[in-house]
Structure 1
């Protein structure tokens, strides 16, 4: 042992022997990977935390792990030397920890002998390296509330797509970053504000807010108009479609024709087959109104389903209460029947006890005056009879008391059950009223929607001019009421419009023959160029400990909640004021591991958070009070989402399951399985109970909160990281490791896909 110590000492540099060692500079680096990985705040094996000298001195189950000035007596040194049957780190451990080298052990001993002094932790400097060209997975997606735009993060870049025209409309970039990047590190999280004018993105130790600016096209920009189709082609289209064509234009590639028809419609035709491609009707306002009515119909359907389920639950409860009520009434009847008999049995027992007591008293007096053996024997017999008489009386009284108590308890049960039934009756009545109100609202919305759709087919305005955009992704029409309207050619969605607000310009020209021609013209411009510019960068020192894994706007758009924290040490939630970027609330270590997902309740009063600690927490925002702690996952909680009515919360787990929670009672509603790998994201679709999910098993899957599968899009080429849906469920969007953003319709039919290039 002495020889070993001498050899170890000889390995220590002379400068190290002379200078006073610092914990964080000289000791912490080799303890971190080989000791602290199992003895830290989160994983405290043997109740020992080795992250600071103070905690090591405090020790664990075996006492202090170090004694300042006495390295030979310190358990940490003995364990490192594998002395006294201690071997740390243990062989084949899961943390990948290895034995300390002789030099490291000697440094540890010298530091302890110098007093094991603590020093100020050194700030970790992170140097981010440039990404390889092949590193561009989609880790996060966001969709605007109106379903118009979808944003995805690829590597450190952000792309925004127009789902109406199905095209890339912007690559969001920070001028301070290279190659059009939005962040230096990976984009971990994205969220649109409720009004769609802001986009928040989270990355390593920073959050950025991007502002949408709708720029008008330059006045001197190149202009073009679609050439008209040939008269012969228009004649064939009119005959095939049985319509009268008032205006027409040909796409630049000659494959499609757009016509303005006498029924007020604008139609796109395939030039080769003469088949209709899409019919364009309606305005931006009518489309918005139809979306609102669709939401109302779905929300009121959900409300009816909930209220009917409550009625069913209470009716079942009433049946059980009726059984209990019957038993209680039977008990009352029985007790009332037997009680008089039991009461009648008491007086004889009392009389017998009194007589027995009198006999004992007389014999006691007699025996006291003359100690006679016969009298003594007679007294003992009398005393035995007295004991029996007393016990008989006690039993009779107890029988009466029990009968009275049973009757009283049964009467209390009747009162309680009757009150419960009355409360249920009141609740059922209220639920029936709610069902009726929801049905009325649903029927009205459905009727309004049908009327609105019908009105689109009877428009009085006629199309007097039509044109394709240069890329044929948009179609414009000028109507005789002065409205200029633009639709997305792929989806038929009205996207922009303008009405004449300026006076017409009139010019008169003359001809050599003496005739005059008056021309009256109105110039209108419609169309904007979306530009996302950096509004604010939030990266102040100490605000974010590590990656910002979740960003979420509050329903009113005034607050941005962020989730992150230091991996394996704590999960932090920070609320930022959107207008100023300043933190309004900070919940440090809300979870014991990094926060991965967040969602506000629809009323904005609660926040659900999921983390790598396998826990879901629901917290009241105003007070910071925890309302629910939900345990049901066996691995990281990767995503959380409230249903539109706030009554159900859905959570996704890396163990390959989705759990739905009844937020009225705070208990698990259903565990939904069927995935073979991690469920990476989930979102409720609009105001329905349907949930779109993505998973590592290369699938996008839609289930409802009862666990029934609605749709399954299988056999995708790679691991899917995120999936979202438009509020009406007509468009599904997902992305993953292969960097492709995929778009499907509600049936799962592929509509488009976009790569990073």
Structure 2
């Protein structure tokens, strides 16, 4: 999986941009703003040629797609015509009335650019204002887009010794590591630490006349496919797909057709100067190489059952079970010994100062002889010149069964040679023995392919167990949710009950207060009626008194007035009290009405809450049932996976897995090759560690190295074939073109393959302008052709995925989702099948540098420029963990294998592993080193690779031990 390959600090960014401008892109000069107005006269003013340079110098810093203050973007005619938040800014044909010109001329507020701006923008000169006004008066029309009138990029050679490593990747099984060094891709075989053949795109030289390289630009991103067969590299507007291959050619020395029936046994000398073969009659035939001269039937030799040759020494077991040593120059015998048993396999080798012979007997024992080798002044071997005694053999006894193949492993660069012997037994498996004490150093019980299948089976079992654990946790969560909803229903029903009781209580109070208010209102009304009646009586009495004559009884009339006045006054005295009582009673009644209304609302709300809680309970019950069913399904998958693994473990090795020949290369670190019956070639280190395997046309032995990279064996027609031991990568397909924005708009910063290696995701975009995200279908073939179906095809362009450059992409383990990190500070997920947006993960305050999935797909990790590592639940978008106690940016982060553990590379130069919560940190180095830009890990999480500013590729084991270091070439 590719992690982000992008500068981590502003200073680094500036230096890189300066480098790119100086060495990669020949700069295309802009038109000077003042020069744009010269000699216009009556000619047409063009936006791209005359207006845009003025705006670029003084306006675009605040009014572009990435920074559109006031919603005004002045980058193109179309965006200018879209206007701003205040409305249109240009009125075609009316320059003096256009807001854009008036603000630029400082004739309206706010003046532009403002005097206190922080981007160095200057007020437009009179000439520049004239250009702007004339363009508007001429219609403010389109001419051509700047991108289409730009001069072709003039590429220059990229000096790899000036740039850090921005991209690195390690193959899923950990056999190869790749890193970008400028425009070159440096691939190393981890076991041998050898550099593979250079990755060359022929068009670099043929089209751009540049030195051979993988790309014209700096390598931005790298990713190995999960099947290990592809390496994808990202450059400027291009993605290149390199296919893993092993060269197989006819042997440089044509041995002709050598029938197994005619020659059932072959031996060769270590210098590959001649081959000795036993024919069907057990006579020795010699083929001199490379002349191919054949000397049939060396009649001086007896009939042989087994032969081994090294240099001028031939060892043979004859029919009488005697082991003999012959000088191959004179064919004279020099020594012999009775073996008292048949030899099933034999090998000889010349060390730096000793001659070794190993013979496997039919009783299972291995006998080893070794002799000092005297030489004359010229270095000529003198051992075979005179007869001598074989001497006592070292015997390795074991219970591993009959030995069918063996070879000596001599590392000549070591003072004591530390010889080993590699054996193959009838029971299968490769074993490595120490000759010093006869101990078994390493046993390779199964073929590499079977070991890989077993390991992958164990991985699937572990993931299935994690799925069960996750499903059980999901079930537990659903049970808790169902229980919580049940409690919520009880609470809601109790609240409803209380609300109903409250209504009854408030209703009773309301009714009582209403009755009281009605009674008081009635009393007040009756008092008002009496006052009205008494007022009439008083007025009548007063009228009668006024109308009385001298003769009438005025005293009686006055008494009537006074009596009426007294009664009226008495009623008026209680009038205010009665009214006040009515007001207070009505106020209390109103309060009761409000309380009743609120109680009714509470009752209705409680009733709805009960309904919602019951619906939620039903939903929770459905979810629980679904999760219970899912758990049973996942348990079934676990059981099936475990059964498959058990069957795989119990299955006996197939005949195709049998080793039919082994060989050894004893120069340098040494290596062992094993040929299996199905043609699989397996390469092991001298200590027996697995290095590489691949299919070959070879079907019979012997197999022998002609150099550290090539081995020769025989196909099913007994023709010799030269097979490359370690892989190299050849360019199979290229997506995009540096001079065309159709496929890819800018540098490809991020790459990742789907789990089945059938899809490739790419991320990039124009910095501060767009985030480009695409998903590609991988090619059906490694061969380029005129048929487009043979090459990669575009599955999805996810438009508007991000508002800024996409810096990291990662497929989920099931390839159903694609996670992205961007310079817009966002992490997002998308549905791979449809390309639809799924979820945004908000929380980072700076660009999101790296994204990665846990192997079970239940967690997502991000890191970035805000010095934070965050772990998310991708199903809900919730942040699970966050650590922010880092001194510098976190360049890259990844989950290790199937573990819930993270590997982290930071700007401080530190590589470490930790739990998702930031605890149990184990540093691989001391930190405070060169800035690290990239990190990757093997599929099983056993190895971690990181690289950065010091241009050294380092590989650690998961426990922090350095495994390999690859510094830049001196």
Q: 1:168 aligns with which of 187, 192, 195?
A: 195
Distance 2:679 2:729 in 1: 28
Residue in structure 2 matched with residue 152 of structure 1 by the alignment: 179
Highest Rg: 1 or 2? 2
Distance 1:501 1:170 in 2: 23
From the superposition, tell whether residues 635 and 155 of structure 1 become closer, same or farther in structure 2 (CA, over 3 Å).
Answer: same
Cα shift at 1:747: 0.9
Does residue 36 in structure 1 map to residue 36 in structure 2? no
CA contact 2:902–2:914 (8 Å) conserved in 1: yes
Residue in structure 2 matched with residue 131 of structure 1 by the alignment: 158
Q: 1:663 aligns with which of 866, 874, 882?
A: 874
SS of 1:138's equivalent? coil
Q: 1:546 aligns with which of 733, 736, 746?
A: 746
Residue in structure 2 matched with residue 535 of structure 1 by the alignment: 732
Cα shift at 1:249: 1.4
Cα shift at 1:732: 1.6
CA contact 2:160–2:184 (8 Å) conserved in 1: no
Q: What TM-score does the superposition give when structure 1 sets the normalisation length?
A: 0.79
Distance 1:49 1:605 in 2: 37
From the superposition, tell whether residues 742 and 455 of structure 1 become closer, same or farther in structure 2 (CA, over 3 Å).
Answer: farther
CA contact 1:484–1:524 (8 Å) conserved in 2: no
SS of 1:196's equivalent? coil
CA contact 1:46–1:61 (8 Å) conserved in 2: yes
CA contact 1:677–1:695 (8 Å) conserved in 2: yes
Distance 1:536 1:39 in 2: 40
Distance 2:125 2:182 in 1: 39
CA contact 2:802–2:824 (8 Å) conserved in 1: yes
CA contact 2:251–2:720 (8 Å) conserved in 1: no
CA contact 1:216–1:529 (8 Å) conserved in 2: no
CA contact 2:863–2:870 (8 Å) conserved in 1: yes
Cα shift at 1:638: 1.8
Cα shift at 1:698: 1.0
CA contact 1:643–1:684 (8 Å) conserved in 2: yes
Does residue 576 in structure 1 map to residue 776 in structure 2? yes
Distance 1:626 1:749 in 2: 41
From the superposition, tell whether residues 101 and 326 of structure 1 become closer, same or farther in structure 2 (CA, over 3 Å).
Answer: same
Residue in structure 1 matched with residue 760 of structure 2 by the alignment: 560
Cα shift at 1:567: 1.6
Distance 1:546 1:188 in 2: 11
From the superposition, tell whether residues 328 and 115 of structure 1 become closer, same or farther in structure 2 (CA, over 3 Å).
Answer: closer
Residue in structure 2 matched with residue 248 of structure 1 by the alignment: 407
* 1:587-598 map, 5 Å: 587-598=798-809
Residue in structure 2 matched with residue 511 of structure 1 by the alignment: none
Residue in structure 1 matched with residue 23 of structure 2 by the alignment: none
CA RMSD of aligned residues (A): 5.0
SS of 1:171's equivalent? coil
Cα shift at 1:216: 2.4
630-639 or 405-414: bigger deviation: 405-414
Residue in structure 1 matched with residue 839 of structure 2 by the alignment: 628
Cα shift at 1:365: 5.9
SS of 1:566's equivalent? coil
Distance 2:179 2:510 in 1: 86
597-606 or 262-271: bigger deviation: 262-271
Distance 1:626 1:10 in 2: 46
Once the two structures are superposed, what CA deviation does each residue of 1:699-743 show, in whole Å capped at 9, x if it has no partner?
A: 223334343355422246532221111111112222223333222
Once the two structures are superposed, what CA deviation does each residue of 1:97-151 show, in whole Å capped at 9, x if it has no partner?
A: 5777897677667767877665312333322211125135322233444554443
Residue in structure 2 matched with residue 747 of structure 1 by the alignment: 959
* 1:343-742 map, 5 Å: 348-349=512-513, 351-353=515-517, 355-356=519-520, 358-359=522-523, 371=535, 373=568, 385-392=581-588, 466-469=662-665, 474-477=671-674, 486-489=682-685, 492-493=689-690, 495-496=692-693, 530-539=727-736, 541-543=740-742, 544-579=744-779, 580=789, 581-715=792-926, 718-742=930-954
CA contact 1:258–1:466 (8 Å) conserved in 2: no
Residue in structure 2 matched with residue 3 of structure 1 by the alignment: none
Once the two structures are superposed, what CA deviation does each residue of 1:70-90 show, in whole Å capped at 9, x if it has no partner?
A: 888988788888999999767
CA contact 1:595–1:611 (8 Å) conserved in 2: yes
CA contact 1:264–1:460 (8 Å) conserved in 2: no
Residue in structure 2 matched with residue 120 of structure 1 by the alignment: 144
CA contact 2:946–2:954 (8 Å) conserved in 1: yes
CA contact 1:279–1:492 (8 Å) conserved in 2: no
SS of 2:167's equivalent? strand
CA contact 2:221–2:234 (8 Å) conserved in 1: yes
Distance 2:432 2:897 in 1: 30
Cα shift at 1:565: 1.7
SS of 1:628's equivalent? strand
155-164 or 374-383: bigger deviation: 374-383
CA contact 1:245–1:259 (8 Å) conserved in 2: no
CA contact 2:924–2:956 (8 Å) conserved in 1: no
Distance 1:202 1:631 in 2: 28
Cα shift at 1:749: 0.9
CA contact 1:171–1:180 (8 Å) conserved in 2: no
From the superposition, tell whether residues 427 and 575 of structure 1 become closer, same or farther in structure 2 (CA, over 3 Å).
Answer: closer
Unpaired runs of 5+ residues, structure 2, are: 1-32, 206-210, 255-267, 271-346, 350-355, 358-367, 372-391, 537-567, 703-715, 780-788
Cα shift at 1:327: 5.4
Residue in structure 2 matched with residue 187 of structure 1 by the alignment: 219
Distance 2:600 2:101 in 1: 74
Does residue 204 in structure 1 map to residue 401 in structure 2? no
95-104 or 712-721: bigger deviation: 95-104
SS of 1:753's equivalent? strand
Residue in structure 2 matched with residue 219 of structure 1 by the alignment: 251
Distance 1:711 1:29 in 2: 54
From the superposition, tell whether residues 224 and 340 of structure 1 become closer, same or farther in structure 2 (CA, over 3 Å).
Answer: farther
From the superposition, tell whether residues 88 and 211 of structure 1 become closer, same or farther in structure 2 (CA, over 3 Å).
Answer: same
111-120 or 693-702: bigger deviation: 111-120
Q: What TM-score does the superposition give when structure 2 sets the normalisation length?
A: 0.63
Distance 2:190 2:469 in 1: 31
CA contact 1:238–1:245 (8 Å) conserved in 2: no
Distance 1:78 1:378 in 2: 79
Once the two structures are superposed, what CA deviation does each residue of 1:263-317 show, in whole Å capped at 9, x if it has no partner?
A: 7442345667877654323113322222222322431343355345546656776
Cα shift at 1:425: 7.0
Cα shift at 1:184: 0.7
Residue in structure 1 matched with residue 264 of structure 2 by the alignment: none
Distance 2:393 2:124 in 1: 87
CA contact 1:252–1:470 (8 Å) conserved in 2: yes
SS of 2:751's equivalent? strand
674-683 or 104-113: bigger deviation: 104-113
Residue in structure 1 matched with residue 50 of structure 2 by the alignment: 26
From the superposition, tell whether residues 379 and 94 of structure 1 become closer, same or farther in structure 2 (CA, over 3 Å).
Answer: closer
179-188 or 297-306: bigger deviation: 297-306
Unpaired runs of 5+ residues, structure 1, are: 1-8, 506-519
